[in-house]
A and B are shown apart, each in its own frame.
Chain A
Amino acid sequence: MDSLLNQDRPPVFCPGCAHERVVAALDQTFQGMGLRGEQIAIVSDIGCSGLFDTFFNTHAFHGLHGRALTYATGIKMARPDLHVVVTMGDGGLGIGGAHLLSTCRRNIDLTLLVLNNFNYGMTGGQCSSTTPQNAQVGSGFLNRLEKPMDVCRVAGAAGAAYTARASAYEKDLSDTLATAIRYDGFALVDIWGVCPGRYTKRNKLSPKTIATTLEGLPPTDHFRKENTREEYGRAYRHEAADLPPAPPPQGIETLHPPVTETRQEVVFLGSAGQRIVTAGELLCLAGASAGLQASQKNDYPITVLRGHSVSEVILSKKAIGYTGIQQPSVVIALAAEGVTRRKKMLANLTEDALVIRAEGIAIPSCRATVVTVDFKAAGIREPDWALAALATLANRNTALSSAMLQTALDIRFSGKVYDLATAVVGKASA
């Protein structure tokens, strides 16, 4: 196989830069694996290591600092057969830490080469996430205060099965890289090297000291045993293959006459857990079954199980413009939390309006007709009050009819939930 090196663009690193050795080793790896340029994508980010993609005649994606793994993930998911090799320095490693951890957890078949030279070469030799605390770097005393991280152990703890440490100077680097690329899952190689342009101007580091230090580091082989599992993309496709297709949006035919020609504005005032939003949806469905346009606008805090829940439903023969409530025709008051939110609205109700009030819920005095219902006495649990209130409305033929409500239940529920809902409606109508 021919070299994949781009003859028009030879490496431009400082003389003696370890990166150049990795470029040569990687080319040998590709050749040894018999790969053609279009079978490989090199994804790089910023810094001296970010030049890697330009030296090869392969697919190339050069992006933002620390984000290389994000692009590589998208590419690999879309092109599972492509060999995706990501290069980043110890800079990209630090800035993209969240992406590193998540890529390890995913186990997607990417090969990450960390070109670790213990400082930011391009910007002036500042400290990185791997700078030793006793090093002299361009960040003054700051690196003395931060502990360097061991990439391989971090990656293993985050779920990577394949991690390897290597020196840019070792003979069999291209074999190490080949094993990593062949690995069916996420593989990370932490490649140590010198940066004569910056780091070794003030710090002693040689191929020999690198080799000795690497030997002294704790092993990471056990991660292989702990973390080996199916590759993410393949696992994803397996899971997806069993999923049923999403049902298309359901059209509701006009089955019933509407109970009135006038626009209805119905406001549910409740609290979390009272299934206010579901009741609002049922009313919309009921309206649609009478050929009415419907809209539902909800108001609730970010907490799921606490606080107010307000739903505003409009039913109208004409297209609905403004979705806010202007003149409520019905207010369903089921909890103090909701009532508090719409005190002004309640006080301003006209005499045409109807209020369905759950027994025990205080509302401001108003001109509307107020009907108090003791849901509890009727044996209805609080989470069902909103549905029961709809049944009360249907009995009075206000806003919806019993037939409209029945159709809404048929559309929205099935199985056991349907039976329970029907029982609630039965109790409320009794």
Chain B
Amino acid sequence: MALTLMEGNEAIAWGARAAGCRFFAGYPITPATTIYNAMLRLLPPEGGICMQGEDEIASIGFCLGASMAGWKTMTATSGPGISLYSEQISFAIGSEIPLVIVDVQRLGPSTGSATKGADGDIQFLQWGNSGGLPVIVLAPVDIRDCIVLTMQAFNLAETYRCPVFLAANKEISMTRETVDLDAIALPDIINRRQADPVQQFLPFGTSGERLTPDFLPIGGNRAVRQTSSTHGPDGYITADPELIARNQDRLQRKITSQADRFVFSEYDAAAGAETLIITYGVTARAAKTAAEALRDTGTPVSLLVLKTLWPVPEDLLREKAAAYSRVVVVEMNLGQYVREIQRVLSDRDIRFLGQMDGELIKPRQIEEVVHHG
């Protein structure tokens, strides 16, 4: 066994490369900058492209152009940059442009604290777009996740032609840790489905059961249309309510109807446990440590770590929570994802532990809540 010492952001960059990412554009921002640094080392020598945009809007714009030209693309930023991305994110959602967006969350609101961690963007990532269509958000816990979930993010972006977020956190991205790279099982790589270039091609057309349109690149040997305006299958503006409704419904269902295929999570059940801790991201690490300590001292607790946050894995939550009288939700904000848990598990006794001071939630705080609620 050989151990490799890596920072989370470095692992995200290597994961992107392993997934076939050839285009990265970003604007430097702590704590995401080291992803850009790593991509600049990785891509250009291999014929890929890494660009620094004049701002965040340009950076994600480069990515949208390159993605429609057929390249796998990624951008990375933090909360302030996600705000600037917002309009382009809506475009990518509505016009089905595959893209991986890393949000290395830092303490907000606004410019907040550049070198402090938080999970304050968890609702923002889902709802920070005009139109309110569903998005996919994955949340890594450690270096292994930074690699594997980044690869999964690319696979999902390619499969469903949509932006996929990686909700990282300064405390994962800028923390170094050892990892046994050989022990990680990497997922198979998925590429977007290409349309048959000789058949009639509708850039947003789908047939049969399929809800995601097949792809042809801009710059390929068949003229292709892309548009941010409300469009029909042919990629031209439409005002036909029926066509519009059908398209909106498809954009919604192509994600929600498939959501059970990409539920990433870890469940650690303890015999005799009455409490289930539900958490995600870096806080899952404190929860693991707390669960061990609690078990050692005669209070068995179970732990559910969510790695797919959006769409909310409702079936998983219901199934796992069924055996427990009490659920404790822990997150590094003042109560964002707990709303989803309360909605899905409305018949459960739900306790909440949140914190927004730039510090990690400590295992002892979690033990306290489990003991005294």
Contacts and interface: CB of A to CB of B under 8 A. Distances in A.
Nearest to B3: A288
A357 interface: no
A12 to B, nearest CB: 11
B226 interface: yes
Contacts of B115: 299-302
Contact of B181 (A75, A240, A249): A249
A152 B163 CA distance: 36
B206 interface: no
Main SS class of interface, A: mixed
A62 B54 contact: no
A256 interface: no
B175 A74 contact: no
Interface in B136-181: 171, 174-178, 181
Interface string B209-227: 0000000011111111111
Size class of the B contact interface (CB-based, 8 Å): 35 or more
B318 interface: no
Interface string A99-118: 10110000000000000000
Contact of B45 (A99, A246, A281, A291): A246
B65 A253 contact: no
A218 B282 CA distance: 60
A335 interface: no
Interface in A231-270: 236, 239-240, 243-246, 249-254
Contacts of B243: none
Given A240-B44, A245-B45, A323-B175, A70 B57 contact: yes
Contacts of A69: 58, 61
A306 B348 CA distance: 50
A21 interface: no
Nearest to A290: B3
B208 interface: no
The DSSP consensus for interface residues of chain B is mixed
B14 A249 contact: yes
B228 A246 contact: no
A82 interface: yes
Given A99-B54, A236-B49, A252-B3, A74 B23 contact: yes
B6 interface: yes
B66 A294 contact: no
B114 A302 contact: yes
Interface stretch (A51-59, A345-353, A385-393, A414-422): A51-59
A72 interface: yes
Interface stretch (B68-76, B246-254, B257-265): B68-76
A165 B122 CA distance: 49
Given A60-B227, A293-B178, A78 B219 contact: yes
Given A77-B62, A296-B177, A63 B228 contact: yes
B191 to A, nearest CB: 15
B239 to A, nearest CB: 13
B91 interface: yes
Given A70-B58, A284-B176, A322 B3 contact: no
Nearest to A62: B227
Given A250-B4, A321-B286, A322-B363, A295 B177 contact: yes
B138 to A, nearest CB: 20
A67 interface: yes
Contact of A294 (B5, B68, B182): B5
Task: State the 4 A-B residue pairs at the shortest beta-carbon distance, nearest first.
Answer: A70-B61, A74-B65, A251-B2, A79-B219
Given A63-B91, A98-B58, 20 more contacts: A41-B219, A59-B218, A60-B226, A61-B227, A64-B61, A70-B58, A70-B65, A77-B65, A78-B70, A78-B71, A79-B217, A101-B54, A249-B10, A251-B181, A288-B178, A321-B286, A322-B362, A323-B175, A323-B285, A326-B363
Interface of B: 1-6, 10, 14, 23, 25, 30, 38, 41-42, 44-47, 49, 51, 53-55, 57-58, 60-71, 73, 87-88, 91, 114-115, 171, 174-178, 181-182, 217-229, 235-237, 282, 285-286, 288-290, 292, 359-360, 362-364
11 contacts: A9-B236, A59-B218, A61-B225, A71-B65, A72-B65, A82-B218, A240-B47, A249-B14, A284-B178, A291-B1, A302-B30
